[in-house]
Structure 1
């Protein structure tokens, strides 16, 4: 089954909306980012079957790829870095279309450098490939992790009671930012 980008966007919106409703108190109480990502992961896990995405998982702080190797990305086609994304929705290498959603979450107290690093990571993770070669046979995976259909940078601002989302596709930010009231 081919998974469309519009399906992945809808899954994100459904999970994120449920998260904002169910965990608004945790957001207002300034709960740790790791906890918030875990709570958002639960919403994805609950919704995956209704999107016919059995076999996919929502994993916070996941840092492995096929064969248990440490996940890496290639920045600017020169620098290989280890990567741990705040939250990913993927099949843990079990399906041909493995990587669906990569999420980085931040609060306003993150430095500009940390935010820039999160955004670069999402650009790298949503890039189709690093060497313009991609095997989609379900067996051969690229050396570096890429190919996520959707990236999302979430800024959770408890003081202003808003969560903003910047989306990434094909290695670039998109113009479709969204804001959600808390």
Structure 2
């Protein structure tokens, strides 16, 4: 799992560099998060196809498990107040249920810096839940069906864009915890 984390982090960083170099006009225009996620998905897809993850898909706002069931997770990270919620992550890399044993690889949540703190914290909380090894300290996997609750993403990424400062803050999550942070400068295009 640590190897997947490191490999996927490297792949993401390569895709993000391509995004910042080739799609700088999206940042200059300050387009929506969905548009930037779409461009990032294309970059990720192009890199993944030449790796050991070539059979995985990059999807935006995907919310289903195999068989059409909603992807669900526990909203609570700690404590007894478990709440089951449906999830819709901004961008994911997964097998769409084809590799039941290792369906979920990467989950990314993107926010613009001016969004409310409550929304940002909810995204961070979601990434912690999605990267946990199990739901409620159990991993129910029978070898044929996806588990009822989504977890075990190898890497979670929180991606915050600050147009005023021309920066992107990136936080990485692994095994239900914050892992590291990085900051990138958005380079202005040349006319």
Same fold (TM over 0.5): yes
How do 1:11-90 residues align onto structure 2 when only pairs under 5 Å count?
Answer: 11-76=11-76, 78-90=82-94
Does residue 181 of the first structure (1) align with residue 182 of the second (2)? Answer: no
| Number of the residue aligned with 2:189 | none
Distance 1:136 1:173, change over 3 A: same
The runs of 5 or more residues in structure 2 that have no matched partner are: 187-191
Task: Say which SS state the counterpart of residue 109 (structure 1) adopts.
Answer: coil
Deviation at 1:118, TM superposition (A): 0.6
Q: Conserved in 2, the CA contact under 8 Å of 1:37 and 1:86?
A: yes
Return closer, same or farther for 1:148/1:79 CA change in 2, 3 Å cut-off: same
Q: Is the 8 A contact 2:134 2:151 kept in 1?
A: yes
Larger deviation: 75-84 or 97-106? 75-84
- Aligned counterparts of 2:182 and 2:3: Cα–Cα separation in 1: 23
TM-score normalised according to structure 1 size: 0.93
For 1:122-161, list aligned pairs within 5 A. Answer: 122-134=127-139, 138-161=143-166
Q: C-alpha root-mean-square deviation of aligned residues, in Å?
A: 1.7
Q: Which has the larger radius of gyration?
A: 2
TM-score by length of 2: 0.89
